[in-house]
Structure 1
Amino acid sequence: MTPSTTQFIAFFGATGGCTNACLVHTLNAGFHATALARTPSKLTDMLLAQGLDQSTIDSRLTIVKGDISDIAAIKSVITNNTNNTIASQIISGIGGTPQMRMSLTRPVTIDNPEICATATKNIVQVLQEIYASTTQHSKPSITVISTTGVSDVKEDVPFGFQTLYHVVLADPHKDKKEMERLVTENTGAEGVFSGALIIRPSLLMGDHNVKGGQGWEKLRVGQEEEPAVGYTIHRADVGQWVFEKAVKAADGGESLFGQKVTLTN
């Protein structure tokens, strides 16, 4: 895919590790993007720390202030504040902050236990409203970062991590599973997305620093029926893999849409 000055990619969760790394690669490659951020200066500082210069950020990125509950802000991200242009792709790495609680069966929750599902519902609502207001539109694809441990088809978590995933992290993973359901049911001819790629990485390690990964080409890649089973993966590697396979490589990316891909070291 060749960078275009008319097309752009919409990012949600861009201050998170995987998505921030993907955004860095996207901007460095010359693509234009929009991003939602509760604190725009935080996102700008993260990008500058990654080696992007201010002129590149100003010319290629539009940051919209708001959060995932703000319908107007979401619409601004998806349309880049225009009336006739919709993002060609949506990349979402929305997630909450883990919190401990006094419970033997559910010791870990997140600050917003339905954040992934809520984000997806609101993105769907915005696209439905946009389509209702105009007959001339193209549907964006969507790539979401989910997790291993939510499959109903085949176990994709190593035995040593199964208690962690299926007991300790049960509440956060319930939200991821609902997000996946909403994405799947809203994709296709009758849905709001032209295609969907669901990424299920193993336990995320490291931060967003694109220089800190082990190398995206070294990752083991599987599908729901034959998952790649492993213990951990670096956030920066996930971000670059999404860039290479969903943002950059039109042929490679398109062939993966409709799949639930497992990634691990």
Structure 2
Amino acid sequence: MTLTSTQHIAFFGATGGCTNACLVHTLNAGYHATALARTPSKLVDMLHAQGISQSIIDAQLTIFKGDISDIHAIKDTLTNHEAGSHGAVHLASQIISGIGGTPQLQMSFRRPVTIDNPEICATATKNIILALQEIYKANPATAQHKPSITVISTTGVSEVKEDVPFGFRILYHVVLADPHKDKKEMERLVVENAGGEKAFSGAVVVRPSLLTGDQNVKGGQGWKKLRVGQEEEPAVGYTVHRADIGEWIFEEVVKTGGKAHFGQRITLTN
């Protein structure tokens, strides 16, 4: 197999609000993309609802059916073998991951909220790393063009400086403690596996404040109105619209390659 210069953006969790909004901007700008989806028809319907035509989907997006536990499907999403390319491997230039679980209440005073899969973020990241390692081993040339990864995390997980307003601290540090443990592990994995001989060329961690709204790209206030901080000097706020997070990732990472933000934990809020 040989490596070609064709590039695409690989999306995981593309039916989630932030990631879906980023995908809409990516397709509208003419980029090629792949996405892993348990129910491809759901993703297609969401894109249609945002004005993405079927012709654009057919020309620019390849959807692979599967979930984040399916290493084969992950590898397909990352490499995108194309018909007629004589076995060439088209390795993704960037990975955008918005994988997350569904919150669930439980009978616990100390931990009232959990998620349906309490280790989904960490598991997804481990499997993406494993898939990349297998790709590099089978196709050594691909290791010369490793993708970067951008993950959507949350405020409230910093061990450097408080980034949650006082009125939300019980919610974040007590009620949401279990889901946030998974986010912390995800962050650790992407940062420790970025750069040099590791799985990713670079890593960007996006920490939005409490998410509101849906993926509708016309529903937010616009990415330029976001307040942006880093872990050492976070932007502290209460809420932020999902569509604005997706647009920020598109503008600051997808369009630019994201190198200016490699190694950073970016806080975003209104």
TM-score range, shorter chain: over 0.9
Residue 244 of structure 1 aligns to a residue whose secondary structure is helix
Report percent identity of matched pairs: 76
Q: CA deviation at 1:258?
A: 1.1
Aligned partners of 2:19 and 2:98 also within 8 Å: yes
The 5-angstrom pairing of residues 174-189 of structure 1 reads 174-189=181-196
Unpaired stretches in structure 1, ≥5 consecutive residues:
none
Query: Any idea what SS the aligned residue of 1:174 has?
Result: helix
Deviation at 1:215, TM superposition (A): 1.1
Is residue 2:51 matched to residue 1:51? Answer: yes
Cα deviation, residue 249, structure 1: 2.4
Question: Which residue of structure 2 aligns with residue 40 of structure 1?
Answer: 40
Letter in 2 for 1:81: H
What is the CA-CA distance between 1:257 and the residue it aligns to?
Answer: 1.2
Structure 2 Cα separation of the partners of residues 184 and 149 of structure 1: 18
- Residue range with higher mean Cα deviation, 9-18 or 183-192: 183-192
Q: Give the 3-state SS of the residue equivalent to 1:15 in structure 2.
A: coil
Number of aligned pairs?
Answer: 259
Q: What corresponds to 1:260 in structure 2? A: 265
Asked if 1 retains the 8 angstrom alpha-carbon contact of 2:81 and 2:89, the reply is no
Aligned pair partner of 2:133 in 128, 136, 146: 128
2:104: which partner in 1?
99
Q: Which residue of 2 aligns with 1:72?
A: 72
- Code of the residue aligned with 2:109 in structure 1: it is L
Aligned to 1:213: 220
- Give the 3-state SS of the residue equivalent to 1:136 in structure 2: helix
The amino acid that maps onto 1:130 is I
Structure 1 equivalent of residue 85 of structure 2? none
Deviation at 1:238, TM superposition (A): 0.1
Distance (whole Å) between structure 2 residues aligned to residue 264 and residue 63 of structure 1: 31
Q: 2: CA distance between counterparts of 1:116 and 1:81?
A: 26
Matching residue's letter, 1:58: D
Q: SS state of the match for residue 62, structure 2?
A: strand
Unaligned runs of 5+ in 2: 83-87
- 1:119 aligns to what? 124
Q: Work out which of the residue numbers 230, 239, 252 in structure 2 matches 1:232.
A: 239
Secondary structure of the residue that 2:55 maps to in structure 1? Answer: helix
Cα distance in structure 2, aligned partners of 1:134 and 1:26: 27
Q: Is the 8 A contact 2:119 2:182 kept in 1?
A: yes
Q: Which runs of 4+ in 1 moved over 3 A?
A: none
Letter in 2 for 1:264: T
When the two structures are superposed, what TM-score results if normalisation uses the length of structure 1? Answer: 0.96
**More displaced, 191-200 or 79-88?**
79-88
- Provide the residue aligned with 2:205 in structure 1: 198
CA distance in 1, matches of 2:55, 2:139: 34
Quick one: which amino acid aligns to residue 64 of structure 1?
A: F
Decide which of 173, 179, 201 is 1:166's aligned counterpart.
Answer: 173
Contact 2:228 2:234 in 1 (8 A): yes
For 1:54 and 1:85, locate their aligned partners in 2 and report how far apart those are by CA, in whole Å. Answer: 23
Greater mean alpha carbon deviation, residues 129-138 or residues 25-34:
129-138
Query: What's the CA shift for 1:135?
Result: 2.0
Task: Give the counterpart letter for 1:70 in structure 2.
Answer: D
| One-letter amino acid matched to 2:92 | A
Q: Distance in 1 between matches of 2:204 and 2:227?
A: 17
- 1:85 to partner: Cα distance: 1.9
SS at match of 2:141: coil
Per-residue deviation, residues 56-82 of structure 1 (Å, max 9, x unmatched)? 011000000000000100000000135
Match of 2:114 among 102, 109, 117: 109
- Alignment correspondent of 1:23: 23
